[in-house]
Structure 1
Amino acid sequence: MNRKSTKRKACPRPDERQPRLAALRRQKMARSAHAYVRGSASLFYQWLEAQKPGALPEGPPVWIGGDCHLGNLGPVSSAAGHVAVQLRDLDNSVVGNPLHDLLRLGLSLTTAARSADLPGVISSSMVEALADGYEQAFDDTRSDITSSTKRSAVVKVAMKEAVHRSSRKMDRQTIDNTEAALPHGKRFWPLSEDERTAIHALFETEPTRSLIRAALTHASDARTKKVSVLDAAFWVKGCSSLGRRRYAVLLDIDGTCSKGGPPCLVDIKEAVSSEAPREHDASMPRDNAKRVLEGARHLSPMLGNRMVAARLDGAAVVIRELMPEDLKLDAQNLTEDSAVKAAHFLALVIGQAHARQMDAATRRAWLGELKKGRPKSLRSPPWLWRSIVDLMVAHERAYLEHCRRYAFDRRSE
């Protein structure tokens, strides 16, 4: 394969990855307070653990996303090509308190608004919209307003691009060329021989070959006979997941590429223990990849039905084909109007994912718990506003300390 020598020199060897990935993660988290929030789920749960019993509502145990920040929501596609906004990352999914997803989303949205230099009054309005949107999902007397007329500009732009995005455009944006090769450089690093052998074995030998093939939309035809690995690379992607095994793989389905068709792009992601606290007596798969898959099927079925849990060289991994429509929301496009509408819409999306797992009586009881003790003069419960403000203060302090250490380390290099 033809690769530019300058790019090859910039790529670390497999045994040199971890220091580079750790440095890159610190750099990403220093870029903004919102970026720091995305990569610090552990701090969020430390704050929750420090709260006094009874200070926050205790919701009925259901599958939760566990890391429900703005970057983990966006348009996803079903195998049939239908598009909807759902959770896109279920690494931390567990059976737990649904309130945790609401608070994590509220922290992410309000921090994004502050990073976009929106006034504090918008944060207040966002929390009100957050509460209303989430509560609506459990109120059977209110209609579903997830139509396009109620979405914020941020969501509308992402949905429009998702619906009209072609596979060839995805190939160019994701791998920078239309050849059946992953260009080594900033995003794709070379594999070790052991890694390459393990990936070929994963896709080209039974029984995992048949399991994976069944989840690939390109290979959904019953007549599909052969899946071949064209190329693979270590994928430098995400923030909180930097440091884990992450691979991009190009597949040829029944010789499609030799006929001029595009390759199938597949994401392999290592599944590790969740940072979110689980319900103590909850029944969940012990295998982390199977846990992530089960969480996806409950919370984001359009995505979950396209995912496979497997083992790669002894490690639990989740495998999914990347679709042209799979996009994340861009927090940089937040405006005063779109921020409030986004808070309402995304809270409704999360609420609906939780509500689908409850019967009518449980939904009514949880709605009553959310509204308990709220004065008529307030449009959001005091505990929600207080929690998000406290979380923002704690994360802002930690972010500044992170930046201070990062600057010191840079000067010491």
Structure 2
Amino acid sequence: MRISLQVKPAHRKEVLDDQRHLKMASSAHAYVRGNTIRFYEWLSKGNAPASLPSGPPIWICGDCHVGNLGPVANLDGQVEIQIRDLDQTVIGNPAHDLLRLGLSLAMAARSSDLPGVTTAFMLEAMIDGYLGELSSRHKKPDVNQIAPIQKVMQEAFNRKWKHLAEERIEDVTPTIPLGKRFWSLTGDEREHLRKFFEGEKARKLVQCLHQCDEGQPIQMLDAAYWMKGCSSLGRLRYAVLVGVGKKNRHGFRMIDIKEATRAAAPTAPNVEMPANNAERVVAGALALSPFLGERMLSSTFAGRQVVVRELRPQDMKFELAALTQQEAILSARLFASVVGKAHARQMSPDVRQAWAKQIKSRHSRGLEAPGWLWTSVVSLVADHEASYLEHCRQYALSRVG
């Protein structure tokens, strides 16, 4: 479907649904990234091996694929690779993050036309990187050894506001031009947004982000409905351009307002977790990705639970394509170490040691990756490949009809 430059609010759902199906049909890896529910359906149907470990109940990403890992900046401008999307975060079993990451890495290898043996090496490296973060004795993966990741990290370190403006809104003027990604608002939506940014909660967030005096005013300069992502298509989503200080002398901020919905990821039994979905996302972000969490708040907008976060120029994603075998293996170790660090910071030394012991149990003969991980990833790849082909068939039939 060709997207008109002016998508009317009444037609949003139709266009968003079509775009989601189109994105998921573009590749098997894209299908995996955009279909978290399929992954948890596989788990709920008892497909996981009996040896799947049950780790300590901690905050997990819940949708731990490679597209949700990338450089993230904190308030002081420091940049680290962290988890960058926490919509599915819950207090759950950390093994679920490992399975989802393993599936994503396997599909990335297939998309790069790498031989199957590479997947085995990647899972070995993945476990090595993850366990390294549970131990005090490990060597940090070197991003400089992975060309596509080094390139993105270097770009992230050098990016400024003008780069974000040029990427997101096409120029550095304080307007959001309507087009393929940004759509017009209704009068009610614009008024709701204006009142929201006049409120105390939003004002304090923007002032904190900008590290300016509390007395500085903020002003909503422009806003638009935002078509972004794949799994989030269909949810309430707005991009808002905010000016800080009189005559915007303290600069601009681009704010993302995203509806928070119920997570597909299962919750660990007998744990206390915010019932409000927006509060859940922010709590998970603070635990797993503090650089991102400190730039977020939970709120309500037009009766919906929403997460409000500032977009920073350094926040980017990795697009892994045409990887060499060595790059794929090193990437697996690096990404798993990021997840391991996010998990480990929530555990005491004794809990980390016990969890590492569980992970390493029941290894396959001659394979360093645990048997439960290898068996699960093989089954998941087969399940998602078949589901992806069926999705493509159904999408093709809908286009013909």
TM-score band by shorter chain is: over 0.9
Q: CA deviation at 1:77?
A: 0.1
For the pair 1:354 / 2:343, whether they are aligned, the reply is yes
Partner secondary structure for residue 11 of structure 1: coil
Q: 2:241 aligns with which of 250, 259, 282?
A: 250
Query: Kindly tell me: are residues 53 and 145 of structure 1, through their superposed partners in 2, closer, same or farther at Cα, counting changes over 3 Å?
Result: closer
Q: CA deviation at 1:144?
A: 4.2
Match of 1:12 in 2: 7
Distance 1:131 1:221 in 2: 43
For the pair 1:36 / 2:31, whether they are aligned, the reply is yes
Distance 1:264 1:198 in 2: 19
The answer as to whether partners of 1:154 and 1:342 remain within 8 angstroms in 2 is: no
Match of 2:391 in 1: 402
Q: CA deviation at 1:186?
A: 0.3
Q: CA deviation at 1:8?
A: 11
The answer as to whether partners of 2:49 and 2:375 remain within 8 angstroms in 1 is: no
The answer as to whether partners of 1:178 and 1:262 remain within 8 angstroms in 2 is: no
Distance 1:155 1:256 in 2: 39
The answer as to whether partners of 2:72 and 2:82 remain within 8 angstroms in 1 is: yes
For the pair 1:212 / 2:201, whether they are aligned, the reply is no
Match of 2:368 in 1: 379
Match of 1:27 in 2: 22
Distance 1:105 1:271 in 2: 22
Match of 2:54 in 1: 58
Match of 1:138 in 2: 134
Match of 1:321 in 2: 310
Partner secondary structure for residue 341 of structure 2: helix
Query: Kindly tell me: are residues 81 and 398 of structure 1, through their superposed partners in 2, closer, same or farther at Cα, counting changes over 3 Å?
Result: same
For the pair 1:366 / 2:362, whether they are aligned, the reply is no
Query: Kindly tell me: are residues 344 and 194 of structure 1, through their superposed partners in 2, closer, same or farther at Cα, counting changes over 3 Å?
Result: same
The answer as to whether partners of 1:154 and 1:333 remain within 8 angstroms in 2 is: no
Q: CA deviation at 1:165?
A: 1.1
For residue 138 of structure 2, what is the amino acid of its counterpart?
S
- TM-score when normalising by structure 2: 0.96
Greater shift after overlay, 17-26 or 325-334? 325-334
Match of 1:184 in 2: 178
Match of 2:41 in 1: 46
Partner secondary structure for residue 38 of structure 2: helix
Distance 2:23 2:315 in 1: 22
For the pair 1:233 / 2:224, whether they are aligned, the reply is yes
CA RMSD of aligned residues (A): 1.8
For residue 303 of structure 1, what is the amino acid of its counterpart?
L
Query: Kindly tell me: are residues 8 and 250 of structure 1, through their superposed partners in 2, closer, same or farther at Cα, counting changes over 3 Å?
Result: farther
Query: Kindly tell me: are residues 144 and 297 of structure 1, through their superposed partners in 2, closer, same or farther at Cα, counting changes over 3 Å?
Result: farther
Match of 1:173 in 2: 167
Q: CA deviation at 1:154?
A: 2.7
* CA deviation profile, 1:171-221 (whole Å, cap 9, x unmatched): 10111122111111100000111111111111112x3234423442x2x21
Distance 2:138 2:51 in 1: 31
Greater shift after overlay, 306-315 or 115-124? 115-124
Partner secondary structure for residue 378 of structure 1: coil
For residue 194 of structure 1, what is the amino acid of its counterpart?
D
For residue 272 of structure 1, what is the amino acid of its counterpart?
T
Partner secondary structure for residue 36 of structure 1: helix
Distance 1:263 1:375 in 2: 54
Query: Kindly tell me: are residues 374 and 93 of structure 1, through their superposed partners in 2, closer, same or farther at Cα, counting changes over 3 Å?
Result: same
Q: CA deviation at 1:223?
A: 4.8
* CA deviation profile, 1:231-274 (whole Å, cap 9, x unmatched): 000000000000000100000101354x5x75311111110000
Match of 1:3 in 2: none
Unaligned runs of 5+ in 2: none
Unaligned runs of 5+ in 1: 1-6
Distance 1:278 1:170 in 2: 36
The answer as to whether partners of 1:298 and 1:357 remain within 8 angstroms in 2 is: yes
* CA deviation profile, 1:359-391 (whole Å, cap 9, x unmatched): 111111111111112256321111111111110
Q: CA deviation at 1:153?
A: 2.3
* CA deviation profile, 1:269-321 (whole Å, cap 9, x unmatched): 11000010001211111111110000000000011011111111111111111
Q: CA deviation at 1:352?
A: 1.1
- TM-score when normalising by structure 1: 0.93
* CA deviation profile, 1:78-106 (whole Å, cap 9, x unmatched): 00000000000000000000001111011
